[in-house]
């Protein structure tokens, strides 16, 4: 059974600071997703990571994937208040039909 663990679950950070959210998963995967969710809203796709060593960046967010370590990171650079949201990683098991297994989410609050 695939398990996906995110940490931390809660993160408060000051504006302008850097931080990293970690996503560990327990079995072989051929793709990993990062999503953002604002309160009461749906999920917004941030990144799709398809191969070992993949790195993608959008604005102040950068995601990377290490399939050998079964680890993905979401790095936040110089945080701003608008980044406050819950961030989820989700993993697709190799050979499956795109069923996503989600982590529990990291609730990020960026303080002024």
Partner 1 sequence: NAGVTQTPKFQVLKTGQSMTLQCAQDMNHEYMSWYRQDPGMGLRLIHYSVGAGITDQGEVPNGYNVSRSTTEDFPLRLLSAAPSQTSVYFCASSYGGGKDEQFFGPGTRLTVL
Site residues, partner 1 (CB under 8 A): 4, 31, 33, 35, 41-43, 45, 48, 50, 88, 90, 97-105
Q: Are 72 and 64 in contact (CB under 8 A)?
A: yes
β-strand pairing of 4-7 with 19-25: antiparallel
Residue 54 or 62 with smaller CB distance to partner 1: 54
Residue 37 or 77 with smaller CB distance to partner 1: 37
Residue 14 or 99 with smaller CB distance to partner 1: 99
Query: Cis bond leading into 81, ω under 30°?
Result: no
């Amino acid at each position: 059974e695939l398990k996906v663990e995110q940490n931390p679950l809660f993160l408060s950070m000051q504006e302008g600071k850097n931080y990293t959210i970690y996503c560990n998963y327990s079995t072989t995967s051929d793709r990993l997703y990062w999503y953002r969710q604002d309160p009461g809203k749906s999920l917004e796709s941030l990144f799709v990571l398809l191969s070992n060593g993949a790195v993608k960046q959008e604005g102040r967010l950068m995601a990377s994937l290490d399939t050998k370590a079964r680890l993905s990171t979401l790095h936040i650079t110089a945080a701003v208040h608008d980044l406050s949201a819950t961030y989820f990683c989700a993993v697709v098991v190799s050979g499956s039909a795109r069923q996503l297994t989600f982590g529990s989410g990291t609730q990020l609050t960026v303080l002024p």
